[in-house]
Amino acid sequence: MRTDIALIGMMGSGKSTVGEQLAARLGGLFVDLDAWVERRAGKPIWRIFEEDSESAFRNLEWQGLCELTHTAGQGRRVLSTGGGVVTSPDCCQLLRTKWVTIWLDASVETLVHRLSSMADQPRPLLASATSLFERVRTLLDVRKPLYEACSQWRVVVDEQSVEETVECILRYLSKN
């Protein structure tokens, strides 16, 4: 039985915030895949994109997901993935088969509102956007079917607090 949970969704959907609280409620370990990549690369994600390439970042993301998947942990782990992890068919396959994968789904409006308030966090895929709304909408249009295909369950987070989202996930987990 799979006990590890992976949260997927767009940047700004709440994966890290929800993941930390979910792990705490489950008495498990929270793991952030982006943080793993940054530690492995020895530099922040925006620098990986700028100096190496998005492809280099995606390769590190895949390596991290493989390592985390095949490392036996004590107890349950909650993984926050990067928003683009679903663009790799290999990552999706690994997530679907080895993790309980939950998609935190948010509308373009919710994402733009949240990302606007996190302007201090560099996001390479938004850096050159002339319109944050249009860029987020375009990314979501491409990724939405990938999130759907990659996840076992979807939680719409637009009208929910972090606590309500965590409770919703706990109810789902208790039934499955």
| 75-91 pLDDT per residue, tens | 789 999 999 999 999 99
Distance CA 165, CA 21 (A): 10
117 Cβ contact partners less than 8 Å away, ≥ 6 residues apart: none
pLDDT score of 133:
84
Distance CA 37, CA 40 (A): 5
For 19-36, the pLDDT digits (tens) are: 999 999 999 999 999 999
- The CA-to-CA distance between both ends of the chain, in Å, stands at 10
Give how far the C-alpha of residue 49 lies from the chain's centroid of Cα atoms, to the nearest Å.
18
Query: pTM score, two decimals?
Result: 0.91
For 139-162, the pLDDT digits (tens) are: 899 999 999 999 999 999 999 999
In this predicted structure, the answer to whether residue 54 has a pLDDT above a threshold of 80 is yes
Q: Which domains does the chain have, with CATH numbers?
A: 5-170 (3.40.50.300)
Quick one: which of 32, 113, 122 has its CA closest to 79?
32
Distance CA 95, CA 89 (A): 10
109: its two tokens: 């409006």
Q: What share of the chain is helix, strand, coil (3-state, %, to 5)?
A: 55, 10, 30
Tell me the pLDDT band of 1, cut-offs 50, 70 and 90.
very low
